[in-house]
Structure 1
Amino acid sequence: MKTIKEGIKQDKFKVKTHVDKNWLDIEIQFVLKKIDENLEVFKEKVPPAASKDLMYIPEGNTDWTASFWIGMLYLAYEYTGEEKYLDVIKVQLESFKNRLKENIQLETHDIGFLYSLSCVAGYEVLGDETAKETAIKAADKLITRYHKEAKILQAWGDLSDPEQRGRMIIDCNMNLPLLYFASKETGDRKYYDIAVNHAEQAAKYIVREDSSTYHTYYMDTETGKPLYGKTAQGYTDQSCWARGQAWGVYGFVLSYVHTGDRKFLDISERLAHYFLNRLPEEDDICYWDLDFTEGNEERDSSAAAIIACGLLELSKHLPVSNEYRELYENAAIKMIKSLAENYTTKNVHSNGILLHAVYSKPGDNGVDECCIWGDYYYFEALIRTVMSWKMYW
């Protein structure tokens, strides 16, 4: 399916935004201070997906979001080199190894999120061979969710569950790097082929002709035929859920990084244009669904943090001749600065970092709260602007 690539309507993104290194350091020091304050309380536990009254209540390593905390610890360690982060990382790593061994709530494609930010990072940052082996075992677990005829990884639930069978979601593009990693480290192409097949099916069916995206899409697992798109956390089945579009921008460029196939880069650009054209004029932070561009609906700072990272990665891989290359970087920097100035917990009582995130508006869950992935991606975006950073994705 050919998707439409809109032009970027907002001229302000063409203007280069200066980023002062001292300003960046101040913002990073704020994040580090928050992490330091949480080191003891989240040494063995993890923050939940979303805060309650702006406070994260410690929980066990059971949710799909459990790895964003250890991901932040790796970023803190890489930036500072301080051993105190390693002390907690080691405890957390054992928890992830045990979770896989005990098969604790792993009926999900989010195995990719969980083990890229814990064990792939453990190998890339620390050279931990056991972490590498655990990541490969996690990839083995992830590919059991592959439907051969449909050529997709099922997102949620038991593979025989009629409500979930054959359902892929836009988020899964961010889970595929675990498979690319396993293929590279083992030399076994099966992981790579499954990842590419899924990314191609997502491009074909989740991405609409106008370059918006469905949150979820159902495939017939017996025949491989496409069925229908449906939302879980967006406004309607036909609207464009902001966080999903952000996952798409970042996720498709990651498949380009691992495959070199330009179609994934092109799709990432198209999704980026759709997203940027639907930002509020005043502060460049999206509403929770891109059907909304003004009014009283909640913003989603976490989606803004995700796409900022995606745009920074996208701009890295485009030629100088690409007319939008600098624009993507400018837009990312504007969003990062807006988040720093208007969306952090600097002046409120909270153990989180980013205010005004939305987990699930339809589910009335984590609405206008801190969301742990928003905190992680905000930190990743800051790190990307201040140092040469090797991705864990």
Structure 2
Amino acid sequence: MGHVNTEKIKDRERWLSVEPLTKEEVDRGLEICLKQIDANMDAFGTRFPWSATKGLQYPIIDCIEWTDGFWTGLLWLAYEVTGDEKYRERAMENVQSFKHRVENRIELDHHDLGFLYVPSCVAAYRLTGSDDARTAALLAADKLMERWQPKGKFLQAWGPMDSPEHYRFIIDCMLNLPILYFASEETGDTRYRDVCRMHFDTTVDNIIRPDGSAYHTFYMNPETGGPDHGATRQGYSDDSAWARGQAWGIYGIPLNMRHLNDRKYLETWRAMANYFVNRLPEDSICYWDLIFGDGSGQSRDSSAAAAAACGFMEVAPMLPVDDKDAPVYAGVTAQMMRTLINSYTSEDHAPLRPILYHGVYSWHSGKGVDEGNIWGDYYFMEALVRSAKSWNPYW
């Protein structure tokens, strides 16, 4: 990739002065999560919430969306925190839905197989040894492999595989690769891992701009397989920095570095992280695109903050022991989580409510703007679990 400039962190003292989260704060956040999960379990039954709330209530759907795995992931997190069998039993009922879905190839012609099957079926297999969960996860990995474009060395996001206008990948896919790492570990077949490495390299080498921000989407040339241009389907504009995309990079880079045992992109990660930190507003929760700040009148995206917090926690053990920015990143993480707990949740645990408020699904389409969304709920609770205990990631 070309040179990426790493901004110096502005206002370091702001972040260095942040106190770590206390056990009481983490416990309060987890209690909020568990109360809402309990209310929603009764409402959803064995079905699933739609991706985002409408009027702060989740519509109930079958297992057909790209986001369904996050609800089951919340159930597994709740089971890990409490040991209560009711969460395991409901999550295992969900596993049967995911197995049926992949066996019948229902609404799976896209790259989001990791989002679907890692927090649901990989988690189930690791926590219970379920053969059905393992089978479903491996079938999902094979389905994702069908999206491999060998000439360009990437997994195509969506659309027909022979369509030039769909010959592109998006930054989100860094979080889908763990389903392939799982398949490689379980089967001993290195093809899955090799595809991960190549897709990861193609993504980092092309989708991250010289200033440390990221495109949402990157198009490759279908004739040569080489890079063509970056664009957006989610951010404000092609050259702005969609906040959730930046968060996918902050989490996705260290996640892949862990699986590959390769730290070569650590400085690229730092460039993305510093760009994100330098654009956080007064309350530390990013607006839905980093082009916006306080006074813009735009919506926050709490889900981007939650995903970024997980990324900061994931990278922490990889930073050098004398890293001068490590305490800054710790302060950023603590302040984002503290603000989310105190100002982006509710004591109203009525059925169908989100855990985390003030997220954005898709500003351009008007879906889930200033609403809750299920991945925001999941990553918020994952960050709390990471804070509360030594946690073996599903990813």
TM-score bin, normalised by smaller chain: over 0.9
2:285 is the counterpart of 1:285: yes
SS of the equivalent of 2:290 reads coil
Distance in 1 (alpha carbons) for counterparts of 2:327 and 2:244: 23
Runs of 4+ displaced beyond 3 Å: 347-350
Partners of 2:95 and 2:132 within 8 A in 1: no
Deviation at residue 265 of structure 1 after TM alignment: 2.7
Moved more, 250-259 or 339-348: 339-348
2:185 is the counterpart of 1:176: no
Deviation at residue 347 of structure 1 after TM alignment: 4.8
Partners of 1:183 and 1:191 within 8 A in 2: yes
Distance in 2 (alpha carbons) for counterparts of 1:67 and 1:317: 28
Deviation at residue 236 of structure 1 after TM alignment: 0.4
Match of 2:357 in 1: 355
Partners of 1:43 and 1:92 within 8 A in 2: no
Moved more, 79-88 or 350-359: 350-359
Partners of 2:286 and 2:305 within 8 A in 1: yes
Deviation at residue 48 of structure 1 after TM alignment: 0.6
2:94 is the counterpart of 1:89: no
SS of the equivalent of 2:48 reads coil
SS of the equivalent of 1:181 reads helix
Match of 1:142 in 2: 144
SS of the equivalent of 1:309 reads helix
Query: Structure 1: which amino acid aligns with 2:272?
Result: L
Distance in 2 (alpha carbons) for counterparts of 1:162 and 1:200: 22
Deviation at residue 348 of structure 1 after TM alignment: 8.0
Query: Structure 1: which amino acid aligns with 2:248?
Result: W
SS of the equivalent of 1:41 reads helix
Query: Structure 2: which amino acid aligns with 1:50?
Result: A
Match of 2:259 in 1: 258
In structure 1, stretches of 5+ residues that fail to align are none
Distance in 1 (alpha carbons) for counterparts of 2:101 and 2:142: 14
Distance in 2 (alpha carbons) for counterparts of 1:388 and 1:31: 19
Match of 1:131 in 2: 133
Match of 1:272 in 2: 273
Match of 1:334 in 2: 335
Deviation at residue 221 of structure 1 after TM alignment: 3.1
Residues 134/348 of structure 1: CA separation in 2 closer, same or farther (3 Å cut): closer
Q: Could you tell me the percent identity over the aligned residues?
A: 46
Query: Structure 1: which amino acid aligns with 2:74?
Result: M
Query: Structure 2: which amino acid aligns with 1:103?
Result: R
SS of the equivalent of 1:160 reads coil
Deviation at residue 354 of structure 1 after TM alignment: 1.0
In structure 2, stretches of 5+ residues that fail to align are none
SS of the equivalent of 1:196 reads helix
SS of the equivalent of 1:227 reads strand
Match of 1:207 in 2: 208
Distance in 1 (alpha carbons) for counterparts of 2:232 and 2:22: 40
Moved more, 178-187 or 97-106: 178-187
Higher relative contact order (CA closer than 8 Å, sequence separation 6+): 2
SS of the equivalent of 1:262 reads coil
SS of the equivalent of 2:96 reads helix
TM-score by length of 2: 0.96
Partners of 2:360 and 2:371 within 8 A in 1: yes
Partners of 2:54 and 2:371 within 8 A in 1: yes
Distance in 2 (alpha carbons) for counterparts of 1:121 and 1:154: 25
Aligned CA RMSD, in angstroms, stands at 1.3
TM-score by length of 1: 0.97
Per-residue CA deviation, residues 327-380 of structure 1 (Å, 9 max, x unaligned), is 212211110000111111225866111111000111111100001100001001
- Describe how 1:47-196 pairs up with structure 2 within 5 A: 47-164=49-166, 166-196=167-197
Partners of 2:96 and 2:132 within 8 A in 1: no
Deviation at residue 212 of structure 1 after TM alignment: 0.4
Partners of 2:92 and 2:124 within 8 A in 1: no
Partners of 1:147 and 1:221 within 8 A in 2: no
Per-residue CA deviation, residues 39-91 of structure 1 (Å, 9 max, x unaligned), is 12223110111100000011011110010000000000000000010111111
Number of aligned positions between the proteins: 391
Query: Structure 1: which amino acid aligns with 2:110?
Result: T
Residues 125/265 of structure 1: CA separation in 2 closer, same or farther (3 Å cut): farther
SS of the equivalent of 1:291 reads coil
Per-residue CA deviation, residues 87-110 of structure 1 (Å, 9 max, x unaligned), is 111110000000001101101110
Match of 2:382 in 1: 380
Distance in 2 (alpha carbons) for counterparts of 1:220 and 1:88: 45
Partners of 1:233 and 1:363 within 8 A in 2: no
Moved more, 52-61 or 257-266: 257-266
Distance in 1 (alpha carbons) for counterparts of 2:196 and 2:206: 15
Query: Structure 1: which amino acid aligns with 2:245?
Result: G
